[in-house]
Amino acid sequence: MRKLLVGIILTVMVSTPFGNVTAEEKEEVEYGWKKTAVAGLNFTQNSFDNWAQGGEDSWSWQLDVNAALSKTEKKYEWSNSLKTSFGKTRVGDESARKAADELRFESVYTRLLGIFVDPYASVSARTQYAAGYDYSTETDIQTSDSFDPTYFTESVGLGVKPAGFIKTRVGAAMKQTVSSVKYGYADDPDTENEIEDFKNEFGAELVTDLSLKLDKNILFTSKVEIFSDFNTFKSIDVNWDNMFKAKVSEYIDVSLNIRIFYDEDISPKRQISQTLAVGLTYTLF
């Protein structure tokens, strides 16, 4: 776990450029509302008939939508973001399986004081659309369900934005986990004869957002979320989401998403998901 945290810190440090951000830093602030919404659809299909080299029929698809709505004024900044992703894949005679599934919303209100740090208040929610299964055994075992588990976080603290491409905030936070007794994601291990369906944790939160244009058509975004319960400082939850996106043409993108997740209550080992996709993208507004 320490190596993971060191890697996060080093990545943020080395990702900070010194030559290509001058223009961004000098951009004038635009007041008022801003809105963006981008949708992407990826589809892959393979079919074989009497193919001597071998192979299995397969297909996969994934739909991603990223939207943001923000308002900037002289005294405050209010930003809202929505990320949703869902996809399935099928190989051979196996049933279609979930390949991507995330629904996430975040709202951050920042009071602009005109000094190095600014106070903020934020709320966020994270969940999934469909049930999840463990396919490592002969019999598929259901490990989660629609909107189960769901995580909520509320925090207040101080934020800093040293440049236009990076911002960090740290503060006191409350984290709620809502899950049915069947799956036990909200279970308190200290209660041996009872499985809870709701868990509330009070601790500290550190969040860093990075949005960096590596080239004219290449964008790297990274979001690191670290939460530690005040009762168990040895246990640190980490959610690190990284995305490389290259625009091939007006409607075609290549993207690489790498997500590292660690929550001792779910698994004693860190979890990693990686998705490489080529597909259509369209700016809704």
Q: pLDDT tens digits, residue range 275-284? A: 888 899 988 8
3-state secondary structure 223-249: EEEEEEECCCCCCEEEEEEEEEEEECC
Dist CA 104 CA 212 (whole Å): 21
- Residues comprising the chain, all counted: 285
Kindly write down the DSSP assignment for every residue of 187-216, as one continuous string: --TT-TT---SEEEEEEEEEEEEEEEEEET
Tokens of 56: 């299995």
CB hemisphere CA count around 106 (13 angstroms): 17
CA 208 to chain centre: 12
CB 107 within 8 A of CB 98: no
CATH code, domain carrying 131: 2.40.230
- C-alpha angle 109/113/115, rounded to 5°? 120
Residue 270 in contact with residue 38, Cβ under 8 Å? Answer: no
pTM of the entire predicted model: 0.84
Which positions ≥6 away from 180 have C-beta within 8 Å?
A: 145, 148, 197
Judged on CB neighbours under 10 Å (0-12, 13-18, 19+), 237 is buried
Task: Give residue-wise pLDDT tens across range 212-237.
Answer: 999 889 999 999 999 998 887 667 89
**Of 73, 79, 65, the residue nearest 169 (C-alpha):** 79
> What pLDDT, on a 0 to 100 scale, did the predictor assign at position 3?
54
**Block residue for tokens 């598929």:** 140
Within a 10 A sphere around the Cβ of 227, how many other Cβ atoms? Answer: 22
Residue 30, pLDDT score: 84
Residue 24 DSSP label: H
pLDDT of residue 1: 52
Cα dihedral across residues 24, 26, 27, 31: positive or negative:
positive
Do residues 241 and 257 touch, judged by C-beta distance below 8 A?
A: yes
Nearest to 243 by CA among 221, 212, 215, 223: 221
The secondary structure of residue 31, as a DSSP letter, is P
**Domain tally, the chain:** 1
The number of angstroms, rounded, from the C-alpha of 250 to the middle of its chain's C-alpha atoms is 25
Q: What is the mean pLDDT of each run of 10 residues along the chain (285 residues)?
A: 49 45 54 94 89 88 95 96 95 90 97 93 97 88 95 97 91 96 88 90 95 92 94 83 93 93 86 90 88
Q: Which domain holds residue 216?
A: 2-283
257 is written with which tokens? 């998403």
